[in-house]
Amino acid sequence: MESIWKEKVDGVITQSGSSRLSLLPCLEAVQEECGYIPHEAVNYLRECLSIPSIDIYGMITFYSLLSTNQKGKYVIRLCNSLPCYLNGTENILDTLVDNLGIEPGQTTLDQRFTLELVPCLGLCDQSPAMVINGVVYGKLTAQLVTEVLDELRTY
């Protein structure tokens, strides 16, 4: 897997140049390939782009979709914005926590699910809402969440 992300990073650098402007596309390429950004990738980017590690980690921690922690097969991002909260995010979170046996920021032992509570998904018209691997689920109820999780468990 390492050689694949390196090839993608090298492709980004070839296309965009070896400047700070290439850092985010390189990080996205690694994240897409690995599901997270391993320490080895940070070292590789530091060498290729001549950017200090602290700056690379600063960018990773700034963008919530980037992570240095391995995530589950299904990453559940539950919106906790004011409209979602007022429409029941707390109940949906309780359903997810009970069903998965994990808290926000954790991954199930079988590496199937990661649960994240995010400040806003931009889905206020569908609140409460969550996104799982890019698929939007809106107007959530405890029953709908349970059905979605049960369906994902079959894959």
Binding-site residue ranges: 79, 84, 120, 124
Contacts of 12 (CB under 8 A, 6+ apart): 22, 25, 26, 29
Q: What are the counts of helices (DSSP H) followed by strands (DSSP E) for the chain? A: 7, 4
Binding residues for [2Fe-2S] cluster, as ranges, are 79, 84, 120, 124
* Residues facing 107 on adjacent strands: 114
Q: Is the peptide bond before 25 cis (omega within 30 degrees of 0)?
A: no
Tell me the sheet residues that pair with 137: 130
